[in-house]
Homo-oligomer: A and B are copies of this chain.
Amino acid sequence: MQTTAWEARGIRTDLAVEAHELASAQAGQKSIPGIQTEELEVYGNTVVRIRVESEEAGHILGKLPGYYSTIKAADMQSRNQDNVEAVSKALAAEIEEFMSRLNLKDEDTCMVVGLGNWASTPDSVGPKAVSAILVTRHLWSVSPPEKQGGLRPVCAIAPGVLGITGMETAEIILSLVQRLRPAFVVAIDALAARDLDRLGTTIQLSDTGINPGSGLGNNRIGITPGFLGVPVISIGIPTVVYATTIVIGALEALASRRKGLLPPGIAEKQDEIREVLSPELRDLVVTPKEIDLLVEEVAKIVAGSLNIALHPGVGPDEVFRYLQ
């Protein structure tokens, strides 16, 4: 993947919706050839669907061709059960949309993979979500057909990160996929956003997989449909903003919004700027102080939505009644 214009400036985002905003601003136009966007409201939440139609358009966005969908919830941390249910239903609906595009059958096995690191709070949303998934594969095969109704065979794993396992996560998943032959994989991961107000409010789906260098884990091999040989629906949750992104963003805002305060060309002097910025800054992340609570809450929402979407006979009511 080529470096995008904003990555060259020191801004990092894993969100297609932010990449699209940046690319549009860069191009000075609202629409970019080869990129279709649609905005709709689902259970009171704003959903932005982006389709990257060509390799070329993908280069502009820094994203592989495919479907991206972003749910922006009013608030996922509010402990307001109504909001939580609304965003869960919207996420379940979007997951079902991705599944229907893949022509999956009700009895097709799904393997859910929680990427990231239990021991690092902002990177633990994948493992935490996996621990609340309604897992059925081991029961399904020994159940009579009439009992299987409504439950899809689902298995799940949180394999851990490279530094802890010594194995590329993609390698672990590939070996499981090759042996257990699921029809598709759902991968849950923590993401980096550009805007602070994405934290705790946004969920991104895509069918392009988890790409090398994206997410907090910086995997070297992508967890993609091409590598695994089966479709991958990825669910990404922004939990951090890189500190450099914040600083560069602030500089650019100052330069553009306040004429005369900063010289207009500041955004182009990125090399000089980055030289001045402390090298320690580059690996540092900004999180809300209540990140522990936020991760807990979002992991529950993602697991609940998957339980609704994956199991054809399980509706939102069952999930909220029985599986909380």
Query: Which chain B residue lies CB-closest to A247?
Result: B250
Binds B, one of A86-94, A207-215, A272-280: A272-280
For the complex of A and B, 4 pairs with smallest distance between CB atoms: A137-B166, A155-B166, A175-B179, A135-B166
Q: Which one of A15-23, A31-39, A118-126 is at the B interface?
A: A118-126
Our pick among B118, B276, B321 for the contact of A257 (Cβ within 8 Å) is: B276
Cα separation A286 to B162 with both chains bound (whole Å): 24
Point out the residues of chain B lying under 8 angstroms from A102, CB to CB. Answer: none
Q: Report the copy number of this chain in the oligomer.
A: 4
Contact check, A284 vs B81: say whether CB atoms are below 8 A apart: no
Q: How far is the CA of A70 from the CA of B172 in the complex (A)?
A: 33
Q: Is the CB of B162 within 8 A of A159?
A: no
Q: Are A261 and B250 in contact (CB under 8 A)?
A: no
| Binary per-residue interface labels of chain A (130-156) against chain B in the complex, 1 for a CB within 8 Å, 0 otherwise | 010001111100000000000001111
Query: Would you call A229 an interface residue if the criterion is a C-beta within 8 Å of the partner chain's C-beta atoms?
Result: no
Q: Which of B135, B253, B263 contacts A164 (CB 8 A)?
A: B135
Contact of A178 among B158, B179, B243, B251 (CB under 8 A): B179
**11 contacts across the A-B interface (CB closer than 8 A):** A156-B164, A156-B165, A171-B179, A175-B180, A196-B281, A243-B243, A243-B246, A246-B281, A254-B276, A283-B289, A284-B287
